[in-house]
Structure 1
């Protein structure tokens, strides 16, 4: 199997607020044959064109013929068994969360000191969270927690309670993006074309992907609010692809930012698991932002491979409506996630608060395949330097 390879690209003038749409289109051209929005027609056509190249190919070296793990599931099957992945908080547990918040406030500590000790839950609740971790690591790989009494709190307090609860899931929470702790998934009508670099900023469908989480392996979300219509979370088991691998799936995919790109297999086999670490946007770009002109274009085989992952993900996916107060946990390397398009209203604007976590029992940084993708634990930003960005930041406006 090919390991990660990092390559340097020519330096690029950073976006400084003075770029125009034409500047972006010139420096970051979009490949119109391979955009963020997958085309089923193009996918089928590529399969015919590439068929001769794949004839006689077998599984990549080190890949087993099949893998039998609980994380390999079909959406239709688990949709009909919500007891396997949907957990409703009890009145007693909601009371325990409210009591933990009161205890936390009585300590008058900096927010970075929020942890299991300063946000204490009863032993019975701890046992439940330990069962959740087992589901994430050795079960389906995802969990939806419902019934959190979010209306009992201010928005800030609700986020504090959510963060306190996540301290029982992850051994560490991760502050990224200039030390900001939270990602805010919300559509802002003030964004212009040059401001939109990801589908999270607009109410459109997101394709199946995993997140880039330096030092972590768990994605979590708190639904501060749901949409007026749509916006379902869609999940799919990465392990469903273990019988459909061909050697070109393990080839290098260039992805990255101006000045630096990396090459890494799309799929690989690690510790008895099929693992994916890919966001389609890192290869195609999004909106008017394509890949920088200095970076290599995706090959026809790579385009087919990425489309295959998306359309198979859709075929085997599970849909979960997002309600206000819902909390979701995902094993980022074994579960793909996506989102349905949605419509906001004056009363209901879909808003998820995202927090990345690390569970030490999965030592992903040992993987040769993820070198350059995962930051070692001792390189993570100290929690004392956390920036608790409770509110979404306004877009940085650029020239028209």
Structure 2
């Protein structure tokens, strides 16, 4: 099934640069630190009280709604963060959760409670994962990590659950939230790049390649990530515009996997050159930002690409990377370009969209949290 490509705006030179706070350069943010917010003592006390309330009520760590995690000044902070994610730079690093004071279950509860103040968590794969763990699964005794089949492209899931680097990509949700519980011995640096800046830079340097990125690329639908879909592949532009706003849903891995499917048109040399340029520009303009335990990184997937450097755990000293991950559909999200509902489920602003529809229920979210 092919999505509708964004109509070309006449000749390549008809396009104009995009403006606004989402057009940032990593070097500037590295100097200013303006994207970082820090919880104050009063907000940490509020979070403690909300955690205690959830425990008194007997809720499971992921089984409660926004009203069950009562916040006051912290809720105001989260509302400001939600506005920044959609109408500002598109990313915030919230710092200051004292992870050493809490058990992992407590941290899950806190992360879920803060997330419920921002939006609704959607499923991250076809097996019902609603709060993911980003850690090295290649050495786990339960062998939850699936080896890559010989001759095949390694899936995005396989890459993310190992210690290797991650290429530039977005996740299938309006906002991705990552909480750092613990760091590896070395590496694992978060890499962030403005999609708006990348669009503008490619327009300036190679408008011909930008035109290709605004047309359809075929992508794969891996079975473990799209269990309900009958289509193994779909087509969608890398960049789409609507109402003056950009969105990009992209992972080169899915483009490469689609090339393994019979009948999918072969990528042209120019299409590959455009993807190479996207990656090169992203590296030039990106921000490198190591996690500190207790950090919560929030990204608007429509305007920010993310990746990471490789990392190295040390099991002897217990320096092992563990991030908790939520995919959120948020109420203040933008309208998406026509055709993007092929992947998202809906292009309407504020819709409960993204994530992975479950084969058993046909739902994107757990029934008990859909309206909680």
1:189 to partner: Cα distance:
3.2
After superposition, give the CA deviation of every residue in 1:225-245 in whole Å (9 maximum; x if it has no partner).
111111110101000133323
Partner of 1:129: 78
Q: Residue 38 of structure 2 aligns with which residue?
A: 88
The SS at the match of 1:189 is coil
The higher-RCO structure (CA 8 Å, 6+ apart) is 1
Asked if 1:58 is matched to 2:12, the reply is yes
1:4 alignment counterpart: 3
Secondary structure in structure 2 of the residue aligned to 1:143: strand
CA contact (8 A) 1:265 1:369 kept: no
Q: Is the 8 A contact 1:218 1:356 kept in 2?
A: yes
In structure 2, C-alpha distance between the alignment counterparts of 1:270 and 1:78, rounded to whole Å? 27
The structural deviation recorded for 1:297 is 2.9
Deviation, structure 1 residue 113? 4.2
Residue 372 (1) aligns with residue 342 (2): yes
1:306-345 aligned within 5 A: 306-345=275-314
For 1:43, the equivalent position in structure 2 comes to none
Dislocated runs of 4+, deviation >6 Å:
none
- Preserved contact between residue 240 and residue 337 of structure 2 (Cα < 8 Å): no
- Distance of 1:271 and 1:100 partners within structure 2: 39
Distance in 1 (alpha carbons) for counterparts of 2:247 and 2:277? 15
CA gap of 1:242–1:180, structure 2 versus 1, over 3 A, is closer
- Higher Cα Rg: structure 1 or 2? 1
Contact 2:213 2:238 in 1 (8 A): yes
Q: Distance in 2 between matches of 1:383 and 1:333?
A: 24
Structure 2 equivalent of residue 187 of structure 1? 136
Partner of 2:195: 238
Paired residues for 1:1-400 under 5 Å:
4=3, 58-59=12-13, 64-82=15-33, 84-109=34-59, 113-122=63-72, 124-170=73-119, 172-177=120-125, 178-190=127-139, 191=145, 193-194=147-148, 197=155, 198-213=158-173, 217-243=174-200, 244-245=202-203, 246-257=210-221, 259-285=231-257, 291-346=260-315, 347-364=318-335, 367-376=337-346, 377=352, 380-384=363-367
Q: Deviations over 1:285-319 (max 9, x none)?
A: 4xxx9733453332212211111111111100001
Which runs of 5 or more structure 2 residues have no equivalent in the other structure? 140-144, 204-209, 223-230, 347-351, 354-361
Distance (Å, rounded) in 1 between the aligned partners of 2:63 and 2:163 = 35
Distance 2:251 2:365 in 1: 27
Compare 185-194 and 204-213 and name the one that shifted more.
Answer: 185-194
Q: Distance in 2 between matches of 1:284 and 1:345?
A: 33
Aligned to 1:372, the other structure's residue is in SS state: helix
- By how many angstroms is 1:201 displaced? 2.0
Provide the aligned C-alpha RMSD in A. Answer: 2.5
| CA displacement 1:50-93 (0-9 Å, x = unmatched) | xxxxxx9614xxx74122110000111111111x2111212222
Q: CA deviation at 1:188?
A: 2.3
> Structure 1 residues 260 and 385, CA, compared in 2 at 3 Å: closer, same or farther?
farther
Unaligned 5+ segments in structure 1 are 7-55, 387-400
344 and 253 in structure 1: CA distance in 2 versus 1, 3 angstrom threshold = same
Which residue in 2 is equivalent to 1:394?
A: none
- 8 Å CA contact retained: 1:227, 1:348: yes
1:132, 1:192 → 2: CA distance? 36
Once the two structures are TM-superposed, the CA of residue 253 in structure 1 deviates from its matched residue by: 0.4
C-alpha separation in 1, matches of 2:267 and 2:105: 43
Deviates more, 1:227-236 or 1:253-262: 253-262
| CA drift at 1:348 | 1.1
Is contact 2:86-2:334 (8 Å) kept?
no
* SS at 1:369 equivalent: coil
Other structure's SS at 1:144 match: strand
For 1:374 and 1:192, the matched residues in 2 are separated by: 26
In 1, Cα distance between equivalents of 2:274 and 2:314: 37
How many angstroms apart in 1 are the aligned matches of 2:196 and 2:344? 21
When normalised by structure 1's length, the TM-score is: 0.74
Deviation sequence 1:236-263 (CA, Å, 0-9, x none) = 1000133323322222101113752111
